[in-house]
Structure 1
Amino acid sequence: MSSSENLLKDMISGKSMTASQQIGLTVRLSIPAILAQISSIVMQYIDASMVGRLGANASGAIGLVSSTTWLFGGLCIAVTTGFTVQIAQAVGAGEEKNARNIMKQGIIIALCISAMLALIAALISTPLPRWLGGEAAIQKMASQYFLVYMLGLPALQMNSIAGGMHQSSGNMRLPGILNVMCCVMDVIFNLFFIFPTRSVQINSITFTMPGLGLGVAGAALGTITAEAVTCAIMVTALLWKNRTLHLRKGEHLRFHRDTLARAVKIGAPVGLEQMVMCSAYVMSTKIVSPLGTIAIAANSFAVTAESFCYMPGYGVQAAATTLVGQCVGAGQKQLSRRMAWITMGLGVSVMTVGGVLMYIAAPAMIGVLTPNEEIRNLGAAVLRIEAFAEPFYAASIVASGALRGAGDTLVPSCMNFASMWCVRIPLAAILAPRVGLYGVWIAMCVELCFRGILFTTRLKRERWMRVFEEK
C-alpha cells in the first residue's frame, strides 16, 4: 500500500493529522491525477500539431466537431461519476464488499451506455459537419474524424470509469502512469496512421518510416488505439490488482436498485450539466463557423493550448472528489469541509501560475501547433484574453469536484446552465459579428469569472453538508 493510501486511511479513521499532513496528502493525491489530465491534453496537442502540418482545412475539420466529441465524452463522465462517488463513500465507510459490487455494476452499465452512444454518433457522423455550418471543403474530413473517434467511445468510457474507480479507492498513481504511457503510444500510432510511408533523416541517418497516410482520420485512429491499449491494462489492474476493489471468490455480481437509483441521482445532473456545457460549446462553434476556416482553426488550437492551464485543475478536482467522498462516507464533517477548502486553494494556486505562464508563452504554444502565421497570431491573441479568467475557472472546477464528493450535483449543474446559456452564449453572439473571434473569447473570459464566483459561493454556504444530516 502506498504512503498516500496509508495517510488516507488514517484520515478517514479519525486519526489526528496536522494541517501540513492534510495539505501534503492533498498534494500527493493531486499530482498523479494532474499528470493524468496533462497527458490527455498532450495527446490532443500532439494530434493538433501533427494534423496542423496537413494544412488549415485539416485543422478546421477537427476543430469543427471537437465540441460534439466533448458532448459524448461528457455523457460518459456522468456515468463514471454516478458510480465512482458511491465507491469513494463506501470505502470511506469501510464497506469494501459493497464498493466492489458497485464497481461491477458500474462497469457493466458503463459499457452498455457507451456502446449505445457510439451507435448514435455513427448514425449522425455524416450530416453533423453540415449541421454545424462547416465549409464544404472540410465536411468530409470532419465526418471521418468524428466517426472513427466515436466508434472508440467504449474504450474511452472504460478507461475513464476504471481510472476513476482506482482514484476513488485511493490509488491515484496507477491512472497517472497509464495515461502518460497512453500519451507516448499516441505519438507512435499517429506517426504511423496520419502520414504516408516516407524517408526520414535524423542527422546523418536516413531511414524509411512506414505509414498509412490516413490524414485526419488517422489522428482519430491513433488516439483511439492508444486509449484501447491503456483501457485493457487499466481494467485488468482494477479487476485483479487493486488492493481494495479486486475481484474476490464467492462475491457475485448483484444489481441493487438503491445503487442504480443513487447512480442516476448523482450522475443524471452531471449528464445534464455535460449536455448543457457541451451543447453550449456546439453553439459556440456555430457562432465561430461563419468567421471562416482560419478562425475555426485558431479557436480550436487556442482551446487545446488553454487545456494545459486548466487540466491540472481537473486533476485537483479528482483529488477533491476522492477526499470529500471518503470523508463523507466516514462521517467526518469538519474534515470534509477542511479538505474541500485545501483542494480549492491548491487548484486556484496551480491554475493562477498556469495562467501567467500561458499569457507569456501564448505565441509559442500556438506556434507548435501550426506553421500558418495568420492562425498563430489570432490564436495567441485570444489565448491571452483567457489567461485572466484562470483563477476563477480553477475555483469552479475544484469546488465542483468537492461538491460531487458529497453527492451534490443538481444545483451545480443548474449553475453551469445559467452561466453558459445566460452569460457566455448571448455575449458571444453579440460580440462575434462586431469583433470576430476576439468577442467569443471575451465572452468566455467574463463567463468563467462569473462561474467561479457562483461555485465559491455555493461551497461557502455549505448547503452541500446536509448530506451528514441524512446519514
Structure 2
Amino acid sequence: MKTDYLKALRDGEPLNFRDRIFLILKLSGPAMLAQISSIIMQYIDASMVGRLGANDSASIGLVSSSTWVVGGIMISLVEGFSVQIAHSIGAKDNKRARNLVKTGLIVNMLIAFLITIFLVSVSYALPIWLGGAEEIRRNATNYLFIYSLFTPVFMLNFLTCSMIQASGNMKVPSICDTIMFILDMIFNFFFIFPTATYKIFGFKLTIFGAGLGVSGAALGTGMSYVVVTIFLIIYLLFKSDILHLRKNERIHIKIDDLKKAFKISLPLAFERGITSGASVAVTRIIAPLGSVSVAANSFAVTAEALCYMPGYGVQSAATTIIGQSIGAKRTDQTKKLGLISIGTGMIIMAFTGILMFFFAPYMIGILTPDPEIRALGTTILRIESFAEPFFGASIVGSGVFRGAGDTLAPSLMCLFSLWCVRVPLSIILVKSYGLKGVWIAMATELTVRGIIFLIRFFRGKWENKLLNK
C-alpha cells in the first residue's frame, strides 16, 4: 500500500489507475475545503452587508470586480515561483526550492507595495469611472480604500499558501482558511454593526459594535487575513518539512529563476487581468440597470462561487501534481493524471450545478431579505447552473497546463472567450433581457471556454511546454 502517493510519483514508482485517483483526491480534498471556506467568508461579508440595505450591497458589488482584478494578478505573480518550487521538489532539488521561497517573498512583496500605492490613488475615482449611482459611490470608495491598505497582507497570504501547497501539503492552508473564515465572521460582526442588545436563550446580552457598515466589512476581512497570514509565515519559514529555512543556506537571487517566474506569471496575470477586466466591463454594462440589478448580480456571483470553488480546489491539486510529475520526469503519468484531474473537476461541478439549480432561492435568501433581489438572483443562478461542468473543465485544465509551465496559450484562449463571446453577447442581450441576458451570455461563454480547453488538452501540445527538460 502506497500511503504517500506524491512521494511515490517523485521516486519513480509505478502508479496504477487507483493510485492516481487516490493521489488526486488526497490533495484535492483539503484544497476544496480551503476554497469553500474562502467563499463562505465572502458569503458572510455579503450576508451581513445585505442586512444594511440594497445600496450598501451595491456599493461593494460595484468595486468587487476591480478587487478581483487585483487579487487575480497577485495570485498569478505568486504562481511563477510556486510552480518552479513544485518542479524543484519533483526533481528532488529541495535546496533550489527553498531559495525560490526566499526570492519569491522579496519580489512579490515589492510588487504588493506598488499595487497598494496604485489602489489608494484610484480609490476615489474608480466608483465614478464604473458608472455607480451617486448614493453608493462614497461607501464603494471607503471599501476599496480599506481593501487597498491590506494588499501586502493578501499577497503574503496567497504566496505562503501557494508555496506550502506546492510542497504537497494541502492540509495546513485548508485549516488556516477555515480559521480565517471564523475570524472573519467574528470581526465583521463587531466592525459592521453598532452596539446592540440581543436576547440569547432568554438572557439579554449587550455586544459592542463599531457600526462601520460597508467599511467594517473590508476591515473585518483584512484583520482575519492578518492573523492567519502570521501563522502561515511561521509555518513556511520554520515548520515546513521541505521548505523551512536552513542556517547555512543564503539567498541567491538568480536571473534565470526570475525569468522563469515571469515567463509563467505574466501570461497568468494577463489571463486574470482579462478575466477580471471583462467582469469590470460587464459591471459597467449592468450598472445603469439600477441598484437592484447590481446587488442581485453581486449576490449571485458570491452564491455561484460555492459551486465552482471546489473546482479551484482540484485545480490547486492538479498544479502541484503535474508540476512535481514534470519535475520528476514522469512522462508516463503526466497526461493520465491531467485527464483524471479534469474529469474529477467536471463531475464535482456538474453535481454542484444541480444543487445550485434547486437551492438557488435559499442561496440568495441567505444573502438578502429584499424580495426583488431574491427573485432576480434566483433566476440568474439557475441560468448559470447549466454551464458548471464546462466551467470545471476550464478551471482544472488551467491548473494542469500551469503545472506544466504552459500559461500563454490558455491565457489567449481566455482572451478570445471573454472578449469575443461574453462581453459582446452581454451588450446585445442586456438590451432585451436586462441582467438575465448578461448571465445567459456568461453561461454561453463558460461553455465555449470549457470546450476549447478540452480540445487543447487532448491535442497534447501543452506537454511540450516543460521548463525543466
Instruction: Give the TM-score category using the shorter length.
Output: over 0.9
Q: Determine helix, strand or coil for the equivalent of 1:243.
A: coil
Q: Does residue 378 of structure 2 align to residue 380 of structure 1?
A: yes
Residues 155-170 of structure 1 correspond to what in structure 2 (within 5 A)?
155-170=153-168
Match of 1:203 among 193, 201, 204: 201
Tell me the residue number matched to 2:459. Answer: 461
Q: Within the alignment, does 1:252 sit opposite 2:280 as a pair?
A: no
Query: Given the superposition, is the C-alpha separation of residues 62 and 236 from structure 1 closer, same or farther in structure 2, using an over 3 Å criterion?
Result: same
**2:80 counterpart (61, 79, 82):** 82
- 1:366 aligned onto 2:394: no
8 A Cα contact 2:52 2:213, kept in partner: yes
**Alpha-carbon contact 1:331-1:468 (below 8 Å) kept:** no
- Give the corresponding residue for 2:110: 112
Amino acid in the other structure paired with 2:85: I
Is the partner of 1:245 in helix, strand or coil? Answer: coil
1:314, 1:455 → 2: CA distance?
15
1:31 aligns with 2:32: no
Q: What percent of counterpart residues are identical? A: 48
State the distance in 2 between where 1:360 and 1:240 align: 46
2-side partners of 1:464 and 1:334: how far apart? Answer: 15
Q: What's 1:123 paired with?
A: 121
* TM-aligned CA deviation for residue 200 of structure 1: 1.0
Q: 2: CA distance between counterparts of 1:250 and 1:469?
A: 28
Name 1:222's counterpart in structure 2: 220
Q: Which residue of 1 aligns with 2:259?
A: 261
User: Which of the numbers 179, 200, 210 marks the counterpart of 2:177?
Assistant: 179
Q: Secondary structure at the match of 1:246?
A: coil
Deviations 1:392-445 (A, max 9, x none): 000000000000000000000000000000000000001112110000000000
Which residue does 2:291 correspond to in 1?
293
Distance verdict in 2 for CA 1:356–1:91, change over 3 Å: same
1:468, CA displacement in angstroms? 5.1
| Structure 1 partner of 2:39 | 41
Structure 1 letter corresponding to 2:146: V
The answer for unaligned runs of 5 or more in structure 1 is: none
After TM superposition, give the deviation of residue 153 of structure 1 in Å. 1.0
Q: Shift of the alpha carbon at 1:282?
A: 0.4
Residue 467 (structure 2) pairs with residue 430 (structure 1): no
Provide Cα deviations, 1:162-198, integer angstroms capped at 9, x if missing partner.
0010110010100000000000000000011001111
The residue type paired with residue 235 of structure 1 is I
Q: Secondary structure at the match of 1:208?
A: strand
* Paired amino acid for 1:80: V
Structure 2 distance, partners of 1:256, 1:369, is 48
1:284 maps to which residue?
Answer: 282
Counterpart contact for 1:54–1:215, Cα < 8 Å? yes
Aligned residue type for 1:172 = M
Moved more, 161-170 or 18-27: 18-27
- Contact 2:49/2:57 (<8 A) preserved: yes
Contact map agreement 1:145 1:216 (CA 8 A) in 2:
yes
Deviation at 1:20, TM superposition (A): 1.1
Indicate whether 1:136 and 2:134 are aligned: yes
Q: Which amino acid aligns with 1:72?
A: V
SS at match of 2:253: coil
Structure 2: which 5+ residue stretches go unaligned? none
Aligned counterparts of 1:173 and 1:203: Cα–Cα separation in 2: 36
- The whole-number CA distance in structure 1 between the counterparts of 2:8 and 2:249 is 27
Q: Distance in 2 between matches of 1:433 and 1:216?
A: 31
Following the alignment from structure 1 to structure 2, what is the Cα–Cα distance between the partners of residues 203 and 19?
A: 54
Asked whether the equivalents of residues 355 and 387 of structure 1 are also in contact (C-alpha less than 8 Å), the reply is yes
Aligned mate of 1:390, from 388, 391, 394: 388
| C-alpha contact (below 8 Å) 2:9/2:330 kept by paired residues | no
The structural deviation recorded for 1:25 is 1.3
Aligned length: 469
Read off the aligned partner of 1:52 and give its amino acid letter: G
| Cα displacement (A) at 1:151 | 1.1
* Partner SS for 2:241: coil
Task: State the shift of 1:6 in Å.
Answer: 2.5
| In 2: Cα distance, 1:316 partner to 1:339 partner | 12
Q: Distance in 2 between matches of 1:364 and 1:75?
A: 32
In 2, Cα distance between the equivalents of 1:105 and 1:336? 28
Ranges of 4+ aligned residues in structure 1 off by more than 2 Å: 3-6, 467-470
How far residue 140 of structure 1 moved from its aligned partner, in angstroms, is 0.1
* 1:420 counterpart = 2:418: yes
Instruction: Give TM-score scaled by structure 2 length.
Output: 0.99
Aligned to 1:335: 333
For residues 258-297 of structure 1, what are the alpha-carbon distances to aligned partners after superposition, in whole Å with 9 as ceiling and x for unaligned?
A: 0000001000000111111111100000000010000000
Give the conservation status (yes or no) of the 8 Å contact 2:405–2:466: no
Tell me the C-alpha RMSD between the 2 structures.
1.1
Cα drift, residue 14 of structure 1? 1.2
Distance of 1:302 and 1:367 partners within structure 2: 11
> 1:81-122 CA deviation, whole Å, 9 max, x = no partner?
110000000000000000000111001111111111011001
Cross-structure match for 1:270: 268
In structure 1, give the amino acid aligned to 2:439: W
Give 2:168's aligned amino acid: G
Partners of 1:354 and 1:467 lie apart in 2 by 32
- Please name the residue that 2:69 is paired with: 71
Larger deviation: 92-101 or 197-206? 197-206
Q: Distance in 2 between matches of 1:215 and 1:182?
A: 20
Q: What SS does the aligned partner of 1:334 have?
A: coil
Distance in 2 between residues matched to 1:235 and 1:20, nearest whole Å: 35
Change (3 A) 1:109 1:379: same
What letter matches 1:155 in structure 2? V
Is this contact kept in 1: 2:405–2:467, CA < 8 A? no
In the alignment, the residues of structure 2 paired with residue 120 and residue 468 of structure 1 have an alpha-carbon distance, to the nearest angstrom, of 35
Q: Contact 1:291 / 1:436 at 8 angstroms: preserved in 2?
A: yes
Deviation at 1:5, TM superposition (A): 8.0
Deviation at 1:4, TM superposition (A): 9.2
**TM-score for the superposition, normalised by structure 1:** 0.98
Alpha-carbon offset, residue 467 of structure 1:
3.5
